[in-house]
Amino acid sequence: MSMFRLIALAGLVLWLALPARAAIEIREVTSPGGIGAWLVESHDIPFVALEIRFRGGTSLDAPGKRGAVNLMTALLEEGAGEMDARAFVRARDALAASFRFGSSSDSLSVSARMLTENRDQAVALLRQALHEPRFDADAVERVRGQVLASIRSDATDPGRIAARTFDRLAFGDHPYGSAPDGTEDSVSALSRDDLIEAHARTIARDRIYVAAAGDITAEELGALLDVLFDGLPETGAPLPGRAEYGLGGGVTVVSFDTPQSVAVFGHEGMDRDHPDFFAAYVMNEVLGAGGFESRLMKEVRGKRGLTYGVYSYLYPMDYAALLLGQVASANDRIAQAITVIRDEWVRMAAEGVTEQELEDVKTYLTGAYPLRFDGNAPIARILVGMQMEGLEPDYVNTRNDRIMAVTLEDVRRVAGELLQPDRLHFVVVGQPEGLETTN
């Protein structure tokens, strides 16, 4: 990308299929410095919501440094440039700006809200946090203490134990197989140099995704992007490779003294760019994702009162894909809940969905989709997520057509391929009656 390239408004102006006066116009903006972003301009409220992602996230921890990216990210707001942690927070609060830094297995995220009134100052401050974090010794120790407390709390949380156990069994040594915030030992051992290294590995120009929504023009956004990102390193650590799924069917019980067992279950899923993804999505909506209307909710909760909530969801990540679910039932009822869930897996794999179910789910999914775009903050989040998934802006116009194109036969075929009752694995944390770890 040429440094001298002018802001290209890209000609690509798209309209979400909504009543005309509420249509959402997505513009692709490229800054003079070559950073791309998507913009929905809306001058109703005098602020802008900005969402930034750096692909890679906690999966870019250096070998032996588990938790470095998580701790580094938490320190971005703890002092930058000439400002120590107190001064930084004071400067931010004086502008009434909001910056949230987060990290996940696939990305490092920045969510910002800035008033139009003082946006330039807020952007300058955010730039400092991204470019010049100080990692002062006292701040490192303070935040390290918070991370360690969180790790200790997770260690006695049955839901967390279940999810961590499933991940470990599924992905082993791949970063997806361990807690992104690290262990007490790994976090305790991190040095300031490790944090500087984690920063260099993750925050780089070749992995940036940006979306903005609100009171800002394309020209202003272009300038903002260069203020934020000019001077960041071109590249960081190489992205991780594919994670091999290594778990077979069965049950793993983790004994934990608590009245209600929590189960996480699942097996391999489907990548977001798979041609059958929409059929799988529709199938799972009927199976376990559709609020009170899903088969799992009706069978496990509605008919039998075995749980307060049971869900299944497609979980495509950058380097693996899962079909996951969760349920919690009293220790003397969890075995029955699991039996019902298995039966539903078998039934769906064999029969697919009914014509009525397919029609209902299509109506719901296509009707609900435009309702998501109901504010600057949600719009910016959706737009940055689309970019991370490799979708085009035009997706907002074609998505409902793709849902409508799914046929009964598609769902039956994909259910038969995707759902594998004999590979379904349940990790159960609690004192479940009548359940034991299988081999």
Partner 1 sequence: MHAIRLAFLAFLLMALPTRAENVAAFTLENGLEVVVIEDHRAPVVVQMVWYRVGAADEPPGKSGIAHFLEHLMFKGTETLAPGEFSAIVQANGGSDNAFTSWDYTAYFQRVAADRLGLMMQIEADRMANLRLAAEDVLTERDVVLEERNQRTENDPGALFSEQRRAAQYQNHPYGIPIIGWRHEIEGLSKADALDFYETYYAPNNAILVVAGDVTADAVRALAEEHYGTLAPSQALPERIRPQEPPQRAERRLTFADPRVGQPYVLRTYLAPERDPGAQETAAALTYLAEILGGEGANSVLGDKLQFDAQTAIHSSAFYDGLSLDATTFGLVVVPAPGVTLAEAEAALDAALAEFLEEGIDPTLFETLKMRMRAAEIYALDSVQGRARRYGAALASGLTVQDVQDWPAILQAVTPEDVMAAAHAVLDRANAVTGWLERPAESRSEVSQ
- Name which of 57 and 214 has its Cβ closer to partner 1: 214
- Subset of 310-369 contacting partner 1 (CB under 8 A): 328-330, 333, 360, 363-369
Check binding of 278 to partner 1 (CB under 8 A). Answer: no
- Name which of 5 and 90 has its Cβ closer to partner 1: 90
Under a CB-based contact definition with an 8 Å cutoff, are residues 28 and 393 in contact? yes
Dihedrals phi, psi of 84, to nearest 5 degrees = -80, -175
Segment near partner 1 (CB under 8 A); pick from 170-178, 248-256, 389-397, 417-425: 248-256
Under a CB-based contact definition with an 8 Å cutoff, are residues 227 and 108 in contact? no
Check binding of 137 to partner 1 (CB under 8 A). Answer: no
- Going residue by residue from 94 to 123, which x/- string records binding to partner 1, judged by CB under 8 A? x-x-x--------------x-x-xx-----
- Subset of 168-227 contacting partner 1 (CB under 8 A): none
- Name which of 35 and 328 has its Cβ closer to partner 1: 328
Check binding of 148 to partner 1 (CB under 8 A). Answer: yes
- The binder of partner 1 chosen from 32, 33, 56, 158 (CB under 8 A): 158
Q: At its nearest, how many Å lie between partner 1 and the CB of residue 213?
A: 9
Check binding of 47 to partner 1 (CB under 8 A). Answer: yes
Q: With left for phi above 0 and alpha for psi between -120 and 50, is residue 282 left, alpha or beta?
A: alpha
Check binding of 82 to partner 1 (CB under 8 A). Answer: no
Segment near partner 1 (CB under 8 A); pick from 37-45, 51-59, 227-235, 381-389: 37-45
- Name which of 379 and 419 has its Cβ closer to partner 1: 379
E strand map for 140-268:
208-214, 250-255, 260-268
Check binding of 33 to partner 1 (CB under 8 A). Answer: no
Check binding of 305 to partner 1 (CB under 8 A). Answer: yes
Integer Cα distance of 328 and 157 in angstroms: 13
Check binding of 257 to partner 1 (CB under 8 A). Answer: yes
Integer Cα distance of 314 and 282 in angstroms: 10
Check binding of 81 to partner 1 (CB under 8 A). Answer: no
Amino acid at 6: L
Check binding of 249 to partner 1 (CB under 8 A). Answer: no
Q: Count the residues in the chain.
A: 439
Segment near partner 1 (CB under 8 A); pick from 26-34, 92-100, 192-200, 431-439: 92-100
Q: At its nearest, how many Å lie between partner 1 and the CB of residue 271?
A: 27
Integer Cα distance of 77 and 129 in angstroms: 6
Integer Cα distance of 192 and 133 in angstroms: 11
For the beta carbon of residue 123, count every other beta carbon within 10 angstroms: 22
Considering Cα of 434, then 436, then 438, then 439, what sign does the dihedral take?
negative
Check binding of 258 to partner 1 (CB under 8 A). Answer: yes
Segment near partner 1 (CB under 8 A); pick from 66-74, 82-90, 271-279, 407-415: 82-90
Integer Cα distance of 182 and 439 in angstroms: 28
Check binding of 22 to partner 1 (CB under 8 A). Answer: yes
Integer Cα distance of 61 and 67 in angstroms: 7
Check binding of 89 to partner 1 (CB under 8 A). Answer: yes
Which residue, 166, 255, 253, is CA-closest to 438?
253
- Name which of 246 and 309 has its Cβ closer to partner 1: 309
DSSP string, 298-359: IIIIITT---S-EEEEEEE-SS-EEEEEEEEEETTTHHHHHHHHHHHHHHHHHH---HHHHH
E strand map for 269-363:
310-316, 321-330
Which residues, other chains included, contact 371 with Cβ-Cβ below 8 Å and sequence gap of 6+?
none
Tokens of 64: 């032996």
Segment near partner 1 (CB under 8 A); pick from 15-23, 192-200, 243-251, 406-414: 15-23
Integer Cα distance of 224 and 230 in angstroms: 10
Check binding of 141 to partner 1 (CB under 8 A). Answer: yes
Q: At its nearest, how many Å lie between partner 1 and the CB of residue 219?
A: 22
For the beta carbon of residue 144, count every other beta carbon within 10 angstroms: 18
- Name which of 166 and 373 has its Cβ closer to partner 1: 373
